[in-house]
Structure formats: structure tokens, C-alpha cells
């Protein structure tokens, strides 16, 4: 039906994803696909494994389907034990010329949506995959968790400042690197933080919302007894700075510190820990 091949990734360009069908089954859709090693030689290539509840909270998903009509991202369906509602392929690698054939279930889009887009962690998207009404029935073998359907987000990342901006049609979330805002282990804002916060304050000033959520996060260096209060103190410092810069009287601030409990990247590398050290400011557009 359609295919896409890896490019510019650590997997090289030897892994192809083929779509065989996408069909409705009750209130979900089932994707039938395969992953094929196109290269010669003797080297295996890595294959994406079945997703589970441990796969990246927000920033990494091995597979997802996009509903372009309703601008939503549909994540694989999981059972309540965290396992995937999918075929159980266990191969972590594929030999040259080899192939893994598999299927996976996703929350279905509303009736009237006749095609979806497949995105994966290893290859370019596949557009306009038609949804059919006939296909092999694959009933779930246990209790399913609630479906995960997210609004599509526009994401921008400034590598120099460590700022990440996520937008939906209704909401803006700006994550600021605490390496820019604070000295190591401190919760007092640096002099260089003011310009960044002034820009955020101007956006909040002109926004339609009245609630600003400020969430502090750390990496997992140190203990919870240090990280939890540090993340809260840093969020409070940002709140005080924004409240001084914002003049409209209707703004309500909600401040929380999460310590290292909500990472968005691995804590095994310096780059990952840097991403996890952040203060996120969320408000309505």
C-alpha cells in the first residue's frame, strides 16, 4: 500500500517500513505493516520494538498515527499492564534480506476520516494511508487502557538557549533551561534571565488566558530531598519575576516542583540531563 525508508539516522538507509493495510475494527484501527532489511553484507539493523507504557512520556514515540482532518496524534493502544495491543515480535534486529511482519492497534478516528499518516522514530512519514472497513479481526485479549489521543503540537527548539516551545491551537508551553536561568544548585535568577522572561511575559500579557502554570524540573543528579525543593524554589522565582513584568490583573499562577520525576530525555547523557533541567511555563493562547 505504501512504504518509507530510513535516512540520515544511526540505522543508515537500509530499513524499509511497508504498510499493508489500515482497517477499522470496532472503535480502533489496526495497522498491518512490515520492516525489511534492504542492505547486503552481514550486518543486522535495529528494528523498532513493540511500544509499551515506558516509551517516552511526551517526546518520543516509536509509532503514531496522525488524523490530519482533526489535527490529532493517535498513540498505540496499550493493555492495563502496559503491554502493547499488537503482535508480539521480539526481534531487536533484522538480518540482511530479512523481514518482520507485524500489526498494531491504535485509537480510531471519527467516522468520515478516510485516511491517516504514519510517523515513526526511524523514517519519514507515510501520508494518505487509506482506512478500509474490511480486514482481519484481532480482538483484544485483555483490558485496554484509556486511548491516548493528543492534539498536534508545533514544536520549536533553540539549541543555543535551550528553549523549547510547544503550541497547540489553544495552548503554549515554553520550557526554559535552568542552566540559563540559574547558577548550579541555586534558585535565584541570573541577570541574563531577565531578557528571556520579558519575552515570555509579553506573550502572556497579550494572551487570552488567565491561568499561568509554572512547573520546575531537575535531572536525577542528587536526591529527591534536594531536587524536589530546588525545582519548586526555581518555579517560584520565575513566578515572582513574571508577576512583576505582567500588568494585567486577572492572571492566576499555579506553581509546582516535580524534581526529577518527569524527565523528557534520558538522564544517562549530559545532553539529556540538560534537557531535563527546565522550568516550563504554560498558558492559553
Based on the fold, state whether residues 145 and 187 are members of the same structural domain: no
Give per-residue pLDDT as tens, 242-269. Answer: 999 999 888 999 999 999 998 877 788 8
Instruction: Using the 3D structure, point to which of 151, 166, 195 is the last residue of a domain.
Output: 151
C-alpha to C-alpha distance for 257 and 265, rounded to whole angstroms: 18
Is the domain of 147 the same as that of 200? no
28: alpha, beta or left, given left = phi > 0 and alpha = psi -120 to 50?
beta
How many domains are contained in the chain? 2
What are the φ and ψ backbone dihedral angles of 116, each rounded to 5 degrees?
-140, 175
pLDDT, tens digit, for every residue of 192-216?
898 889 999 999 999 988 999 999 9
**Residues 42 and 165 reside in one and the same domain:** no
Together in a domain, 118 and 169: no
- Among 123, 151, 179, the domain boundary falls at 151
Query: Are 108 and 28 contained in the same domain?
Result: yes
Q: Are residue 141 and residue 189 in the same domain, yes or no?
A: no
Provide the domain limits for residue 107.
Answer: 2-151
Q: What is the CA radius of gyration of the chain?
A: 22
Is residue 30 domain-shared with residue 122, that is, in the same domain? Answer: yes
Q: pLDDT tens for residues 21-57?
A: 999 999 999 999 998 888 766 677 666 667 765 444 3
Amino acid at each position: 500500500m505504501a512504504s518509507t525508508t530510513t535516512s540520515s539516522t544511526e540505522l543508515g538507509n537500509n530499513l524499509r517500513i511497508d504498510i499493508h493495510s489500515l482497517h477499522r475494527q470496532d472503535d480502533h484501527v489496526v495497522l498491518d505493516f512490515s520492516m525489511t532489511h534492504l542492505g547486503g553484507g552481514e550486518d543486522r539493523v535495529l528494528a523498532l520494538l513493540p511500544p509499551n507504557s515506558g516509551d517516552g512520556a511526551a517526546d518520543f514515540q516509536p509509532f503514531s498515527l496522525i488524523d490530519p482532518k482533526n489535527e490529532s496524534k493517535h498513540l498505540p493502544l496499550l493493555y492495563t499492564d502496559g503491554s502493547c495491543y499488537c503482535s508480539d515480535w521480539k526481534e531487536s534486529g533484522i538480518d540482511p534480506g530479512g523481514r518482520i511482519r507485524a500489526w498494531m492497534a491504535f485509537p480510531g478516528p471519527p467516522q468520515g476520516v478516510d485516511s491517516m499518516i504514519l510517523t515513526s522514530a526511524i523514517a519519514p512519514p507515510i501520508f494518505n494511508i487509506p482506512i478500509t472497513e474490511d480486514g482481519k479481526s484481532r480482538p483484544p485479549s485483555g483490558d485496554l487502557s484509556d486511548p491516548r489521543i493528543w492534539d498536534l503540537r508545533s514544536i520549536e527548539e533553540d539549541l543555543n538557549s535551550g528553549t523549547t516551545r510547544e503550541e497547540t491551537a489553544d495552548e503554549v508551553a515554553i520550557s526554559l533551561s535552568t542552566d540559563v536561568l540559574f547558577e548550579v544548585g541555586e534558585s535565584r535568577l541570573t541577570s541574563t534571565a531577565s531578557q528571556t522572561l520579558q519575552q515570555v511575559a509579553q506573550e502572556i500579557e497579550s494572551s487570552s488566558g488567565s491561568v499561568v502554570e509554572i512547573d520546575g524540573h531537575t535531572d536525577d543528579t542528587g536526591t529527591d530531598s534536594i531536587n524536589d525543593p530546588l525545582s519548586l524554589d526555581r518555579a517560584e522565582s520565575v513566578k515572582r519575576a513574571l508577576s512583576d513584568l505582567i500588568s494585567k490583573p486577572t492572571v492566576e499562577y499555579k506553581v509546582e516542583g516535580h524534581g526529577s520525576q518527569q524527565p523528557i530525555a534520558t538522564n544517562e547523557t549530559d545532553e539529556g540531563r540538560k534537557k531535563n533541567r527546565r522550568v516550563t511555563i504554560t498558558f492559553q493562547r
